[in-house]
Amino acid sequence: MMLKKSIITIFLLINTILWAQNDTSSPYSLYGLGLENKTSFGGFTAMGNTGVAQITTFQINNFNPANLSNIPLNSFLYEIGINGTYSSIKTSDISQNTFDFNFSHLAIAFPVIKTWGMSVGLIPYSKVGYNIDLKKPIEGSTSTFNTRIIGSGGLNNLYWANGMKIHEKISLGIELSFLFGTIDEENWILTDPLVNILDHNYYNGLKFKTGIHYTLPDLANTKTTLGVTFEAPTKLKGTQTRNSYKTIGGYQIDIDKDTENNLDDFELPLTISIGVSSKINKNIISNFDYKKLWWENTNNYNNSGNYTNQSIYAFGIEYKPSKGYGFSSLMKYRLGLNYNTGFLNISNQKIDTYSISIGLGIPMSKQNASNLNISYSIGKEGTLSNSLIEENFHKLTLNLSFMGDWFRKQKIF
């Protein structure tokens, strides 16, 4: 019964992730494949999106597949998350506030044998949502015309990950991702006649990720793990279906009718993440992560901006009080910082992001294996200088990391 219900629920959620109108409204999402999904699993979001080296036993670690080797036998882990972002977006002339809501992920993980864990999940990979008015001169005349450009859609990541313990202190992981999705770009050329061009840009491709966890010998009550992941460069194939029409004298005249075009492949760069995670006195976990994406080695091209190598520096800390009395002593308190250089250089200006986050992990069972994680982050992306856009955001993330036990068929709640 339980199994059946769970499967139905999971299908429902997958459906929602794939087909729900995922609202993102950031002008920056027009670059590349859109805004990267920056929400991670469990408590990692509140810890500044760190966790490459962190070992978690009851929480799926989406940063490093090697961690899957740590799932205890007879357990079954679920992970679902949602987030809402309140942004104020400013240009030098105007300022507007938006609220976006997104499903962030759905994943499951389970052990195959004691030293081998497996995970399957669906995570939004990127989100596109923008609504931009562009004014351009009409060549050969003194007038101008406006185009309204509306982008929507995004890519999904369906992954299958495996983690294996090959040594008491060493785990290896491999993750295969299938990235797929449609980015729509609609252009309304606000002239007389009115022209509408709607491009469905479908991308898909595979991505490989490998990871390692290496645990150092304990030192002064501190258990330190090193983690590294490596993502090979890959290409996403793109195809475009274009429909366009113009409206002359009340008549709609088709220009393109389901015209198929090839899009340039979108290249994902070589990506390496390095992390250090220390557990001090069983109360404190601290993570340092560094991630680099070599975008400059890709052939991705954009007229209005250059792709530059992207670095992400992140720090996160989690505090869990020693056994005490009261509910508050069961909670986990988290804090994180993140700086992301971004991958774009527009008007000689890097579009970078700073954020700070705090969060709570609220236990939902006595074993402390299921948690409701809440995190709140504030941050700033972009800049007002050089006619660009600055986005200040407040993001609230809610996710459930919980443990089921299909194999024991025993209720834990």
Partner 1 sequence: MRNSFILLFLSFIVLISCDDDLKTYPVGEDFIDSNISIKVIDSFSLKCGTFMLDSIVTSNTGRILLGSVIDNNLGQTTSQSYLKLKNTLFDIDTNAKYDSIGFVLNYDTYYYGDTTVAQTYKIHRVRKIIEPDEGLGLYNTSNFPYDSEVLGELTFTPKPHKTSDSLYIPLNFNLGEEIFDKLKDNEINNFDDFEQYFNGITIIPDTSTNNHILGFQFKNYTSNNNSSMRIYYTIPDDDNENNDSFIDFNIVEEYQFNHIESNRLNTQLENFETSETIISSSYTNNIIYTQGGTGISARVEIPYLKNLNKLSENGTVLDGKLLFYPLKGSYDNNPLEESLMVYVVDHKNRIIKELGEAVLTNNKYDEFNEDTYYTVDLTLYIEEILSATYTLNYALMFQFPDYKNTVDKIFIEDSNVEEFKMKLQVSYLTY
Please tell me whether residue 326 binds partner 1 under the rule CB under 8 A. Answer: no
Please tell me whether residue 34 binds partner 1 under the rule CB under 8 A. Answer: no
Q: Which stretch binds partner 1 (CB under 8 A): 79-87, 160-168, 263-271, 282-290?
A: 79-87
User: What residue type is assigned to position 60 of the chain?
Assistant: I
State the Cα angle at 211 between 265 and 214, rounded to 5°: 160
* Residue from 19, 93, 262, 323 in contact with partner 1 (CB under 8 A): 93
Residues 232 to 291 in contact with partner 1, rule: CB under 8 A = 244, 246, 248-249, 253, 255
Question: CA 10, CA 12: separation in Å to the nearest integer?
Answer: 5
Q: Which stretch binds partner 1 (CB under 8 A): 35-43, 92-100, 115-123, 165-173?
A: 92-100
Residue 266 makes CB contacts below 8 A (sequence gap 6+) with 32, 33, 203, 205, 235, 236, 238, 300
Contact indicator for 41, 60 with CB cutoff of 8 Å = yes
* Residue from 18, 356, 360, 400 in contact with partner 1 (CB under 8 A): 400
Please tell me whether residue 16 binds partner 1 under the rule CB under 8 A. Answer: yes
User: Which of 267, 271, 274, 273 is closest to 307 using CA atoms?
Assistant: 267
Contact indicator for 350, 381 with CB cutoff of 8 Å = no
DSSP string spanning 161-187?
EEEEEEETTEEEEEEEEEEEEEEEEEE
Please tell me whether residue 98 binds partner 1 under the rule CB under 8 A. Answer: yes
- Count of Cβ atoms closer than 10 Å to residue 324 Cβ: 8
DSSP string spanning 349-406?
EE--EEEEEEEEEEE-STTS--EEEEEEEEEEEE-SGGG--EEEEEEEEEEEEEEE-T
Closest approach, Cβ 256 to partner 1, in A, equals 8
Please tell me whether residue 323 binds partner 1 under the rule CB under 8 A. Answer: no
Closest approach, Cβ 27 to partner 1, in A, equals 5
* Residue from 73, 167, 191, 380 in contact with partner 1 (CB under 8 A): 191
Q: Which residues bind partner 1 (CB under 8 A)?
A: 5-6, 9, 12-13, 16, 20-21, 23, 25, 27, 30, 80, 82, 84, 89, 91, 93-94, 96, 98-101, 103, 129-136, 138-141, 145, 147-150, 187, 189, 191-193, 195, 197, 244, 246, 248-249, 253, 255, 302-305, 346-347, 386-389, 398, 400, 402, 404, 413
